[in-house]
Structure 1
Amino acid sequence: MSDAHSYLLGENALVLSLDVNAPSHTQQRKLFALCTALKDSNAFIDIVPAKSSVTAYMANPSDYQYWLKHIMLLWHECDDFAFDAKTHIIETIYGGEFGPDLSDVAQQANLTERQVVQLHCAQTYQVEFLGFLPGFAYLGKLPSELQLPRKTTPRKQVPKGSVAIAEDLSAIYPNQSPGGWHLLGRCQHTLFNPTHNPPSLFAPGDKIKFVPLKEGIC
């Protein structure tokens, strides 16, 4: 019995969607492997992964009947695909003007600011999917001690490079934008550059490790 299904979206997009909203670790790895397999084919002009689905834009829409079946075959064979995740080290200044919500997060979590930073840095995160802004990666999974709802009132402007948390996720704002996540710190890494190939520094499945810089709390 399959745990996924495929369907045509519009005229040239093909979707493989899981039959669950919260994929297991195994299912997530299979989605990452499926993206790799589809990118290796010249049948698609773009591959867009999400939390529980993959959308592939076909170069030749007339091939949709073949790919509706073949993408399911690939899905069931994904266990055999090699998936090599990249690891990124993100140096971060925590607290102060760079992390204006660190003190409040510590208070809500009944922790010291140092403990919040240590917990945030102790985890190795995985890019679950990208969205919201170009290069904005949703990183799971945040330690349970730091899981808080989003801010009641979002900020109108969040600085580029802000390292943030909300619910069970962490993230880095690739550019200045509005945002309702709790800001713990800031980094200097460029997460999105349209002149680069690929333009996003992170890809689904990549691993992220935060390292505190001495200028902040560590």
Structure 2
Amino acid sequence: MRLGEDALLLRLGDGIDADTNARVHALAARIDAARPPWLRDLVPAYASLALFVDASACDGDDPLADAEAWLHALPPDDGDPASSQGALHEVPVRYGGEHGPDLDAVAEHAGLSPRQVIELHADGEYRVAMLGFAPGFPYLLGLDPALSMPRLATPRTRVEAGSVGIGGEQAGIYPRPGPGGWRIIGRTEVVLFDPARDPPSLLAPGDRLRFVPTGKLP
């Protein structure tokens, strides 16, 4: 479908689903590898992919029609979408205490000890499904279902930069201070977004991430 005069939205499914998201990133990688001259930007989401079109690079009167024709001619991909591997990042995290004020609540909700929550949270490999909410904020798939917990009924007015949180079935990291309603279980000193860096965001959609516990554990 068309998004205004300079973008297309390719919808591959609905909702939050790891397999659908893997297909989104596989398609984004194929388009980016071919890099048609009209492509200005690719923005993956959970189940869709937005393509922004540079009208000056198109020959016809309808730039979006040119882009649509190019997409229809794109050969099918017979590979496994899940085999597309982004960069792997290790993120050190201090869990609990002042760094993770909601760790005990998550543990009680899950019927686990705080130490077991940390072990489960750090045991898995996460995938950056998309970036959103704030510059550099990663929505992460891969949270153990046992740790799933609803957001706070009343969001905090300030969440510290680097806070590692749980929001429903998702994990995330706050790149800068601001309000937020996710359950905060730890904090990292890794800088996720720096406007002076190229690229500014440390993480990219499709990247993989592992949390590494540091410091004294509860």
Output the TM-score relative to the length of structure 1: 0.88
- Looking at structure 1, the residues matched to 75 and 42 of structure 2 have their Cα atoms a distance apart, in angstroms, of 15
- What residue in structure 2 maps to residue 29 of structure 1? 22
Contact 1:31/1:53 (CA < 8 Å) preserved in 2?
yes
Q: How does 1:57-72 map to 2 (within 5 A)?
A: 57-60=52-55, 62-72=62-72
- Looking at structure 2, the residues matched to 107 and 173 of structure 1 have their Cα atoms a distance apart, in angstroms, of 23
Gaps of at least 5 residues in structure 1 are 1-6
- What residue in structure 2 maps to residue 143 of structure 1? 144
- What residue in structure 2 maps to residue 119 of structure 1? 120
Contact 1:16/1:72 (CA < 8 Å) preserved in 2?
no
Cα distance, 1:195 vs structure 2: 2.3
The DSSP-based 3-state class of the residue aligned with 2:200 is coil
- Looking at structure 1, the residues matched to 96 and 171 of structure 2 have their Cα atoms a distance apart, in angstroms, of 16
Contact 1:47/1:56 (CA < 8 Å) preserved in 2?
yes
Contact 2:13/2:48 (CA < 8 Å) preserved in 1?
no
Distance change in 2, residues 1:72/1:157 (3 Å): farther
Cα distance, 1:22 vs structure 2: 3.9
Distance change in 2, residues 1:63/1:89 (3 Å): same
- What residue in structure 1 maps to residue 100 of structure 2? 99
- Looking at structure 2, the residues matched to 193 and 140 of structure 1 have their Cα atoms a distance apart, in angstroms, of 23
Aligned length: 210
The DSSP-based 3-state class of the residue aligned with 1:77 is coil
Counterpart code for 1:49: P
Q: 1:38 aligns with which of 31, 34, 38?
A: 31
Cα distance, 1:204 vs structure 2: 1.3
Counterpart code for 2:7: A
Contact 2:159/2:179 (CA < 8 Å) preserved in 1?
yes
Output the TM-score relative to the length of structure 2: 0.88
Over residues 111-145 of structure 1, what are the superposed CA-to-partner deviations in whole Å (9 max), with x where a residue is unaligned?
A: 11101100100111111111100100111121111
Counterpart code for 1:137: P
Over residues 148-167 of structure 1, what are the superposed CA-to-partner deviations in whole Å (9 max), with x where a residue is unaligned?
A: 11111110000000011121
- What residue in structure 1 maps to residue 10 of structure 2? 16
- Looking at structure 1, the residues matched to 73 and 17 of structure 2 have their Cα atoms a distance apart, in angstroms, of 19
Percent identity between the aligned chains?
A: 38
- What residue in structure 1 maps to residue 158 of structure 2? 157
The DSSP-based 3-state class of the residue aligned with 2:153 is coil
- Looking at structure 1, the residues matched to 73 and 79 of structure 2 have their Cα atoms a distance apart, in angstroms, of 11
Contact 2:12/2:48 (CA < 8 Å) preserved in 1?
yes
Moved over 4 A (4+): none
Distance change in 2, residues 1:95/1:72 (3 Å): farther
